[in-house]
Chain A
Amino acid sequence: MSELNDLYQEVILEHSKAPRNYRRPASANHTAEGYNPLCGDHFTVFLDMDGDAIRDIGFQGSGCAISKASASMMTQSVKGKTKAEAARLFEQFHSLVTGGHNTAANSELGKLAVFSGVSRFPARVKCATLAWHTLQSALEGDQKPVSTEDE
């Protein structure tokens, strides 16, 4: 049960029930769709880019608690960041959820560290990274839907 508690931390449950930035910003100039064909999770990420900077971000779609909370917290984390900063954050997040390295040392992840429990649930890594893959696709201006199975 303790591993489950690590996975379903209060913050994650709370975000899954009341996701932040769950909207399409009127000023959005980049979007991308992401889906996980294994479970049917599906999200759209909307970006309002000011040059290289993420001025605003929102998302919509459906998925499990992990994928929805991850999308919600991602939007909070990357708002105001540059493309390169967001990419670095994704790299660290990916490493966190795949058990790549110790989380506490990563101050840049901040609140995102609550997803460390995912690393003990290999079947759920794709849930946690779906929104991030979609963000990456939106940032790269690639309008093709991304799939968790393209990795």
Chain B
Amino acid sequence: MTTFADRLQVEPQAFAPSRALPQDHGLDIAAIRAEFPILSRTINGRRLVYLDNAATSQKPRAVIRALARYYEQENANIHRGVHWLSVQATEEHDAARRSVQRFLNARRESEIVFVRGATEAINLVAQTFGRTHVAAGDEVLITAMEHHSNIVPWQMLCEEKGAHLKVAPIDDRGQLLVDEFQKLIGPRTRIVAVTHVSNVLGTVNPVRELIAMAHSRGVPVLLDGAQAAPHLSVDVQHLDCDFYVFSGHKVYGPTGIGVLYGKAALLDAMPPYQGGGDMIASVTFEKTTYKKSPSKFEAGTPDIGGAIALGVALDYVTGLGIDRIAAHEHDLLEYATEKVGAIPTIRLIGTASHRAGVLSFVLDDVHPHDLGTILDGDGIAVRAGHHCAQPLMARFGIPATTRASFAVYNTREEIDVLVEGIKKARKVFGQ
């Protein structure tokens, strides 16, 4: 019997997309693809068509090598030893923080806190800033298009404090109703938490405008950048956001490492998140004093290798040019919207005028899970499900969607393969 493992045989198979086309915006997509080893493997005897980048992106060789190099050549704990390796690891870790600082255009290095991912970053803010600023009767404002990770931490906080979670509505195209959002910022609003780009709808929120609205009433704003950082240029000073969070693994970095950006004044005033080593200035059994940010929020030995590799990933993105990546992905999204949208019985979920990265859809009479399985048979990886956004699914009256999400290495040819796969699924189900 064929086992699941057998189906995933590795069979290097060169794939050459058409040479630098005008729509590649100066990027050599074939050369970029060659930098991602996993893209040359096959699934079910077919070339992998990886369209699940919003779940996690694949990793370029530079990132994989950075991880290997760290463990092979430089592994030591940071901020501790006087020995050469520890000093070297500390320097590399600090350099990674500066890469993140440059990537976000943060004013200071100390405004960059390493965490496990966007989820941990939001929890950190809810448990530190939130617990000190939100009291009974206060309000936290989010939107109807948030990922569970930008709902649940606030719900937990509100439950603990007797505060209220307010939700700004969206329209049928998946766009935030900005006027409603503005009305919901009230005298008791203590923080606003909004996604920069929706992981289901692809909607790019007008975050700069939202931030200005909140600031005009003295309310700080956290932006969930998990789906934005891989697809568009982020400048935290220009946006003037108070907190910005993202996960490394969605932007070509490793899993287990992510970033919290916070304005220095806010981070300085916040209590620590977890207690432990590396976050203290001095400890006695009577009293402990804490280091400044970012150390205050980084108790214990961090993911040193992960942080270093994340720095390499962000430098890789910057090297290609985030604007060029955005332009290439925009073309893919337009092409996919046209081709997938033309399939009979398909309904696109999320048709905002400004979108990035993802295309969600439902088919009449073919459940996303069945479609996902049939596409997998052709080596096409998409996400089928509720995408950790159950309230959003409820808003659209659907249990789940199929989502194709794009990265710099994707091509129009791959979208053609997706379209053929969807047509095949319709045949299986007799449409």
Contacts and interface: CB of A to CB of B under 8 A. Distances in A.
A40 B377 contact: no
A39 B400 contact: yes
A42 B430 CA distance: 24
Interface string A116-135: 00001111100100000000
Interface in A93-137: 99, 120-124, 127
B428 A8 contact: yes
Contact of B370 (A3, A42, A65): A65
Nearest to A123: B373
Contacts of A62: 399
Nearest to B377: A4
A121 B2 CA distance: 11
Given A4-B373, A66-B370, A39 B384 contact: yes
A63 interface: yes
Contact of B386 (A4, A13, A17, A40): A40
A64 interface: yes
Interface string B414-431: 000000000000001110
B385 interface: yes
**Size class of B's contact patch?**
20 to 34
B228 interface: no
B369 A8 contact: no
Given A8-B370, A120-B2, A120-B4, A39 B386 contact: yes
B176 interface: no
Interface in B1-48: 1-2, 4, 7
Given A38-B385, A40-B386, A65-B429, A122 B370 contact: no
Interface in B358-381: 365-370, 373-374, 377
A127 B369 contact: yes
B2 A3 contact: yes
A26 interface: no
B399 A42 contact: yes
A7 interface: yes
**Size class of A's contact patch?**
20 to 34
Contacts of A124: 369, 373
Contacts of B1: 99, 120
Nearest to B390: A40
Interface in A54-87: 62-66
Contacts of A121: 373
A120 to B, nearest CB: 7
Most chain B beta-carbon contacts within 10 A, residue among A1, A40, A66, A123: A40
B4 A64 contact: no
A13 B386 CA distance: 23
A118 to B, nearest CB: 10
Interface string B41-73: 000000000000000000000000000000000
Given A39-B369, A120-B1, 7 more contacts: A3-B377, A7-B373, A13-B430, A42-B399, A65-B366, A123-B373, A127-B369
Interface of A: 1, 3-4, 7-8, 13, 17, 38-42, 62-66, 99, 120-124, 127
- The 9 lowest CB-CB distance pairs between A and B, nearest first, are A64-B367, A40-B399, A64-B369, A40-B386, A39-B385, A4-B377, A65-B370, A40-B400, A64-B370
25 contacts: A1-B377, A3-B2, A4-B377, A8-B370, A17-B430, A38-B385, A39-B368, A39-B384, A40-B385, A40-B386, A40-B393, A40-B399, A41-B369, A41-B399, A42-B399, A64-B367, A64-B368, A64-B369, A65-B370, A99-B1, A120-B4, A120-B7, A123-B373, A124-B369, A127-B369
